[in-house]
Each structure stands twice: as C-alpha cells, then as structure tokens.
Amino acid sequence: MQYLYYKIYKPYGMLSQFTPEGDHDTLGSLFEFQKDVYPVGRLDHDSEGLLLLTNDKTINTRLLNPDKKHIRIYWVQVEGLPGDAALNQMRKGVTINLKGTLHQTQAAGVRGMSAPRIPERIPPVNHTKHPETSWLELELTEGKNRQIRKMTAKVGHPTLRLIRYGIERLNIDKMMPGDIVEVPKSEFYQGLHLKP
C-alpha cells in the first residue's frame, strides 16, 4: 500500500472534513484526495492553519494519544494587550469549562509576538469593533475543544483570530491559505518526532 502524507493550510471558514455540512467549504474543495486519505485531528471552522492528512492510520493513534505529548504551536490575535499577569496565568494553566466539566489546562508556553506576515483573513477581523489587538504565540501539548479561545477569554483577552502554525517541526512556513504540500514519509515522521 502506498502511504500518502500531506500538510495543508486550512483557510478560515472551512470544515476539517470531506462530508458537506451547511454552507461551509470542506477539504474536498481544495483538492481531490485519494479516498482513504483523512485529516489527523481537526481545526474548528473558524480556526486556520496547519492540518495534516494521511492514509497511514497509525499516525492518528500516535499523534492524538494523550499519553504521547506533541507540541502544537499557535499564533493567536487577541483583543487588547495582555499584561504579565494574564500571560503568567495561561502559562501556569487556567480552569476552563468543557461541556459542563471543569478542566485545569496544562502548563503552556505563552509569549507576545509581532504580527506575523500572513494574508488578511477573509472576512477580516473587525478592527472598528476591536481597535486594539495583539498577537501571542502559544505552545500546547493538549488540544481540548476550543481550548485556546477559552483560555484567552478566561484572562480577559478574547481570541479574534487563531492560526495553528505547527505541530512539532511541521509548519505552514511559506504556505498560503488553501495550499497543499505532499510530504515524503521520512520528512513527515521526522517532523513529528515519530519513529517509522
């Protein structure tokens, strides 16, 4: 069997699936992938950035198993200018609500960053409604439902734009929304720090 490995830059508003749902675009609108190729994990429709696809079913288990920690890097545009207290709260972990259950987030890497050189989102963030914004880079090893949005809201700085830049060493550097890159197996495994 020939295993295929892709990284894509999922655009804002697109579902991380092939099955149509509502009026959202799906991954099938980007490219006609082989029928056994599926996304590893997901990004919410209102999040952008790196999504991995493959027909190598072992990747799902190895990457999404909570016991096997993999660093995920996010670029987050938030409302306002978070101070040290807010950043330290997120670094140490905050309590968020997951479908009625309280969850203490794990320690995270959080730092301020300059606005990345990326295309404007379509539709763009409403700068009239949110005149003061800033960018953060977050490094997480867990991926609870809408976790980053809940974390930034908890410390008083709601997320306006959320981009997954990378997973371990695989990233969207030099990619544009909608881009697809086929990755050789060795590079894919090495980039994720997995043994073949």
Query: What DSSP string runs through 148-179?
Result: HHHHHHHTT--EEEEEEEEETTEE-TT--TT-
Active site residues: 44
**Assigned domain for 196 exists:** no
Express each pLDDT in 16-31 by its tens digit.
999 988 888 999 999 9
Residue 46 pLDDT exceeds 80: yes
> Are residues 48 and 84 part of one domain?
no
Banded pLDDT at 135 (limits 50, 70, 90): very high
Domain ranges, residue 109: 72-167
CB 172, CB 7: distance < 8 Å: yes
> Are residues 99 and 85 part of one domain?
yes
Residue 143 pLDDT exceeds 90: no
> Are residues 83 and 11 part of one domain?
no
For residue 13, give the CATH number of its domain.
3.30.70.580
> Are residues 162 and 85 part of one domain?
yes
